[in-house]
Amino acid sequence: MAPVCKVGLVVSSLCVKGYLAARLHMDEIINTASMMLDSGLPCFSRGDPIGNLWKRFHPEMSEREAANYMIHACSDAYKWTTAGYDLIQYMQQGIEK
């Protein structure tokens, strides 16, 4: 379970609000990201970056479901495995946290 503290709750609340606000502009964000596909940036060079971005917005979810999804994502960020995953990403792909 994630630690509960006032700062953590504020950060989690802001993340949820930001995520819900970004979902309102999902199409514009995806269109902007699509313009970068041929940029040569590593984040656009593997897999289906635009499809994956679209999936992260979870357009199939209601606003309440999306808020709960982000609350859980914030809680998951406190887990020790996140630091391990970040280290692996850095070592394999040079992606810094």
Give me 43's structure tokens: 């984040």
Chain centroid to Cα 78, Å, comes to 14
Read off the pTM: 0.73
Domain ranges of the chain: 6-93
pLDDT attached to residue 1? 45
- Contacting residues for 77 by C-beta, under 8 A, at least 6 apart: 2
Give 60's pLDDT tier (boundaries 50, 70, 90): very high
Element (H, E) at 36: none
Q: What is the pLDDT of residues 45-59, one digit of tens each?
A: 889 999 999 999 999
